[in-house]
Structure 1
Amino acid sequence: MPLIPMTDSLLRVRDLSVRFRLPEGEVTAVDHVSFDVAPGEVLGIVGESGSGKSQILFSLMGLLAGNGRVSGAAHFAGQDLLAMSPRALDHVRGVAMSMIFQDPMTSLSPYKRVGDQLAEGLIVHKGLSRRDAGREAVRMLDRVRIPDAARRARSYPHEFSGGMRQRVMIAMALLVKPRLLLADEPTTALDVTIQAQIIDILAELAREIGTAIIFVTHDLGVVARLCDRVIVLYGGRIMEEGPAAPLFAAPAHPYAKGLLHATPRIAAPLTPRLETIAGAPRAGGAMLPGCPFAPRCDQRIDICQTTPPPLKAIAPGRLAACHLTGETA
């Protein structure tokens, strides 16, 4: 499979597949996905619900459900995350990799003060004293713009709003200064004003610390604002990949075009109705013999339903998996 060449990649994922055993049979959630992430880069992974976005992150973090199995390779700083023992992976997760989840209440203990929860990671993984860890926790809460951080560090999660709890999760994830941050739709449940603030915080802190980010979302507006490069995922496969600006300006794959055309635009002229993609999203199940998007594609030809399209270079730095797109030399 051709890949966009990356120099000094921090993360190199090759042929990543995720499958789940269910009573009715095996379901494929991610199908032979490959990509690189460079230090300091923000990579967005977009697609409808059920496209496999979150399962990529869970597999990298070793957090798949018990009935899931993963294959392929994911080399992070020279180590294959998928081949690590649980103990070794736990150390990497605590020091070099962090994750922000969609719902912060599932990751914050309701019985512990916020400051204590932040400090715990520094005590366990960095060997700081409780006093020094507490000071660092307050400093990071202040950096993610939580007012009166020293006082709020003594509060419990239920005393924070949804937006503030998400900022606490960002502070927790960045406190150990990870080399790689995985963000699973962290702004989905927030209003647009809080979304914008959190995106700015992530971008600012990532620039300062040099952290690489994989940002999973279905919100193309968030991706356009935050991400350097984008992967468009459908049915567990990469449909298109490339730098954010040219991909959004001229998407090559019919699915990427459909996603963009279905996104409301304030500056666009008024139309009778918002464009949609016909049919329902494909979420797992037996893999189709051809392109997974073929049943919903209004441009499909016979080969689309019988032969999987290869992921090929269509322009410098851009890839697409479509029989209708031209391949560059």
Structure 2
Amino acid sequence: MSFVITQGPDKAVRYETSEIPEPQNDEVLVKFLASPVNPLDLLVIKGAYPVRPKFNQSGNPILGYEGVGEVIKCASNVTRFQPGDLVIPSTFGVGTWRSYAALNASLLLKIDRPNDIVFAALLRMAIAPAYFLVEEIRTLKPGECIIQNAGTSTVAQYVTQFAVSRGVSVISVIRDRSPDETQRVKSALLAAGAEKVFTESELGTQATELRKSKKIVLALDSVYGASGSMLLSALSDGGTFIHLGFLGGSAGKLELGPQDLFGRRLTLRGFRGSDHMAARSVEEQTNLLNYWIAKLNQNELQLPALGLNLVELSSGPASGTAALDTVQKAQESSMSQRKQIFLLK
């Protein structure tokens, strides 16, 4: 028996069961092992993301845009894969919130096996964008500094790891929370490599002073609105501002003064990690994915310091309740510091 998480006509998230499919020509049967609940998944549920799910169960779109699985069986005409191979989707929308899927082989990339399978479930939407932000936006030099909001996000935590490894310091900004929780989060992020950690309230009073004392050449905005505007204020002259998300909602605005573009010569750009990955051939993508896996296996990359919330799912009513509760929790706390990960049994 297989299970699948879908979205019904009423837009409600559903947990359904079905028979395990048989792979047809050009297909492989994949047993998904781990699938995260990402901010992008929440946009899909809201109908606010342009790439829609590619597959349906009983007419309902199958959710989940990232994950890792193991090949169980291949159609007779498939030679690229064999049972036991570890794979991730090569594109968005394949529906990873399910235990089994018969997928066209072209929708999958074979990867090496990491020491922790959860790491592979984070490759495309956390580790890849973090790497591209550090390596491909501008040439960063040792001694320079990155400032980023949504500092507890998985992407931000990997930005810190990649930046610190090349001598670039990181200032992470987190949302305001209770004093005890603020201290706990700050301690974890500092221990993981951040040079400084500010709450949004603290940054509001120190952004201009930071600009005078640090060479902040890159600002990464995942929140938008007032939080993003504070990052703009902290950027050094000639710095680059990258917008990559709307975790704080899209109703706000960035405050851009008349001197920011001309006087301070700031550059503002949008960012999509999928564009950077798509610019590479399949072989180049696979090599890059395996490079990050090797870094983990050699203890040069770590799982997020703030931890992950692992939710085990199998066929049955209890798992259905756990799955729906997990999605609801993610929707209610989209800026939580602990990513939700489905472990599919």
Scaled by the length of structure 1, the TM-score of the pair is 0.27
Does 1 or 2 have the higher relative contact order (CA < 8 Å, sep 6+)? Answer: 1
Scaled by the length of structure 2, the TM-score of the pair is 0.26
